[in-house]
Amino acid sequence: MGRESDDTLAPSGSLAETATACHAGQWADMICARAAELQFDVVGFARADEPLRQHKADFDAFIEQGMHADMAYLEKHQAARERLDGEAILPGAKTVVCLARRYDRGAEAEADDPPLTQRMARYARGRDYHGHLHKRVATLARFVRGLRPGVVARALCDTAPVLERAWAHRAGLGFIGKNGMLIVPGKGSYCLLGEVVTTLSLQPEAYGKPLNERCGSCTLCLDACPTEAFVRPFVLDPRRCVSYYTIESRSTAPAELHDKLGDDLFGCDVCQQVCPYNQVAPPAVEATAPFEPLPRWREVSPARWLGVDDDEFLELTKSSPLRRATRAGMAQNVLLSAAQRLRQAGPKGDDDARSQLQQGARHDDPSVRKLAEQLLGSV
């Protein structure tokens, strides 16, 4: 449980190590066993009362260079990202229980995924994890509160200004790869993170130690990125990233990236897909039901996103991460993908793609119309 810092392939906190030594008084073991029951794949513990100085310095540099682009929420509560105690997150916080849940279903299971979802990042094909994963983290937080009278515990799941990967790294769950992802040796990087921040102190040996980076001379992720979004190893500039433009950005992608954004409709997995650590990790076949594509995606064609009104958009994206992209954003993603198909088709053309661009030029949102006209004029 989060106690090893060696270079073995068994990540600290792997469930194989849990449950057996659980008895009253060994809170770390008890938390690990409960986390296993809640289907977390990895769990570890980080001290909360020591600030994350280096990670915070890197984060500050990221903000100062404007790389957060229009993700203004990253700039807010900047100080909270360094510490988890005091007013920042939880007064008196002593421990961060770091949790990871795998969502990789494996190539065999994915082969039958609807075509629409094959153009979405894997984590987004099923139900929004902010709901189902947060419930599990909250259940674990309740369990931690019950370990001793007066213990306070707060559940986080991408819901507070916390440097999740940095805490998971400190807890010994994995190392940060050159692609910026937390890589859990033996399990890969297709993992969602959650935390229970608590005033409970654990015995010193329960706390993990950060794993050394294990990329070696590999540069596969940097070389495979379609938009050359890595400024250097470990540093991703979201202003060049497909995931940013197809999910987070509220501005239209700049013209110089239009022919690089590819066919993705929501997110991009390329820099994870090529990573050897994901290729050798066995698929997380059990417990991946929430990540199976929503049945409705079998009925939805990409072009549908161009024609939905606000109510239809809300209905279609119910319990789905796609809602984050906004109705206009999804329409723009379809247009960029249609333009790419037109470019690739060359002189023989692609009637469907052209008619999608023409439909976009009649869209009720001005940003979508503007992009459609720009693309019609350039392909």
Which residue of the set 49, 58, 60, 158 is catalytic?
A: 158
Closest to ligand SF4 by CB, 216 or 347: 216
The conformation of residue 56, written as its DSSP 8-state character, comes to H
Phi, psi dihedrals of residue 285, rounded to the nearest 5°: -65, -35
Task: Quote the CA–CA distance of 292 and 298 in Å, as a whole number.
Answer: 12
**Token pair in block for residue 358:** 């023409």
The conformation of residue 254, written as its DSSP 8-state character, comes to P
CA 165 to chain centre: 10
CB of 316 to ligand SF4, least distance (A): 24
> Which of left, alpha, beta for 109 (phi over 0: left; psi -120 to 50: alpha)?
alpha
Closest to ligand SF4 by CB, 51 or 276: 276
Closest to ligand SF4 by CB, 221 or 353: 221
For residue 131, give the amino acid letter: G
CB of 175 to ligand SF4, least distance (A): 9
Half-sphere exposure of 248 toward its Cβ, with a 13 Å CA cutoff?
Answer: 16
CB of 142 to ligand SF4, least distance (A): 35
Cα–Cα distances in angstroms (integers) from residue 241 to residues 66, 254, 327, 359, 361, in the given order: 14, 11, 20, 26, 25
Closest to ligand SF4 by CB, 168 or 215: 215
Closest to ligand SF4 by CB, 162 or 275: 275
Task: Quote the CA–CA distance of 274 and 215 in Å, as a whole number.
Answer: 13
Residues 6+ apart with CB under 8 A from 56: 81, 82, 163
Task: Quote the CA–CA distance of 137 and 143 in Å, as a whole number.
Answer: 10
Task: Quote the CA–CA distance of 48 and 84 in Å, as a whole number.
Answer: 6
CB of 6 to ligand SF4, least distance (A): 19
CB of 236 to ligand SF4, least distance (A): 5
Helix/strand/coil for 44: strand
Catalytic site residue 158?
yes
Nearest residue to ligand SF4, scored by beta-carbon proximity: 177
Q: Burial level of 235, CB count in 10 A (0-12/13-18/19+)?
A: middle
Closest to ligand SF4 by CB, 144 or 281: 281
Cβ atoms of 171 and 13 within 8 Å: the answer is yes
CB of 133 to ligand SF4, least distance (A): 21
CB of 270 to ligand SF4, least distance (A): 4
Closest to ligand SF4 by CB, 129 or 207: 129
**Token pair in block for residue 211:** 């794993």
Q: Which residues bind ligand SF4 (CB under 6 A)?
A: 177-179, 215, 218-221, 225-227, 229, 236, 241-243, 268, 270-271, 274-277
Q: Which residues are catalytic?
A: 158
